[in-house]
């Protein structure tokens, strides 16, 4: 099990970068740029063959980064990600089998939800921190605001369709700890290995808070 696990992924920064890594060689400089910009938590999605190697490189070479794995959908992936060095796990949805594997992994995790029933089911199982996905398509801030009254014990990281313009609206909500997004890692900047640009975008994202002011 990785050392120094975060008590809560939701409290590390206002924004959780969601990274699609095409080349594992980019993992370390990318992580350094994001950390330098004030975003220590990094979700590397399992959407490319480079993901696991990239997670391992970030975990080994960027000690200030809190590297996690996203798009985790099977128990086998849970084990692979933790073995690679992931310090948290994120899934787009959940099943009892996947939830059991994530719970047994010993690392924090954010199972994905998009309905009140899914939230209630997780609360019954003792899970209070979740990913709300796909956030904009599933009802956005209005939906999460509606959940805050009857289910105040649930906290969320909304992800999906969120950019810097809408992020502060989510951060005003009492049940939102952070938002997930990829706007600070645009594909053209990553392809060009423009680490200074990514660091600048990360710094701007790290300064977001409710109402769009710096924390």
φ and ψ of 139, to 5 deg: 125, -10
The catalytically annotated residue of 129, 131, 169, 199 is 131
Catalytic member of 43, 129, 169, 199 = 43
131 is catalytic: yes
Is the Cβ–Cβ distance between 159 and 138 less than 8 Å?
no
Which residues, at least 6 apart from 68, have a Cβ–Cβ distance to it below 8 Å?
A: 9, 41, 42, 43, 44, 86, 87, 88, 89, 90
From residue 22, alpha-carbon distances to 59, 74, 76, 199 in Å are 17, 21, 21, 19
* Contact assessment for residue 58 and residue 65, using Cβ atoms and an 8 Å cutoff: yes
Active site (annotated) includes residue 169: no
Which residues are identified as catalytic? 43, 131
């Amino acid at each position: 099990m990785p050392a120094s696990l975060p008590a809560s992924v939701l409290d590390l920064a206002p924004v959780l970068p969601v990274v699609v890594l095409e080349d594992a060689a980019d993992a370390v400089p990318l992580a350094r740029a994001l950390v330098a910009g004030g975003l220590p938590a990094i979700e590397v999605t399992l959407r490319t063959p480079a993901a696991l190697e990239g997670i391992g490189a970030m975990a080994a070479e960027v000690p200030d980064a809190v590297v996690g794995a996203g798009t985790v959908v099977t128990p086998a992936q849970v084990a692979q990600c933790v073995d690679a060095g992931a310090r948290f796990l994120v899934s787009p949805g959940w099943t009892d089998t996947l939830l059991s594997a994530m719970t047994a992994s010993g690392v924090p995790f954010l199972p994905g939800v998009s309905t009140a029933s899914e939230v209630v089911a997780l609360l019954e199982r003792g899970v209070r921190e979740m990913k709300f996905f796909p956030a904009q398509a599933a009802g956005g801030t209005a939906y999460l605001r509606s959940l805050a009254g009857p289910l105040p014990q649930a906290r969320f990281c909304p992800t999906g369709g969120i950019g810097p313009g809408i992020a502060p609206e989510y951060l005003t909500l009492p049940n939102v700890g952070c938002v997930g997004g990829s706007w600070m890692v645009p594909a053209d900047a990553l392809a060009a290995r423009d680490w200074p640009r990514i660091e600048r975008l990360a710094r701007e994202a790290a300064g977001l808070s409710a109402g769009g002011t710096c924390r």
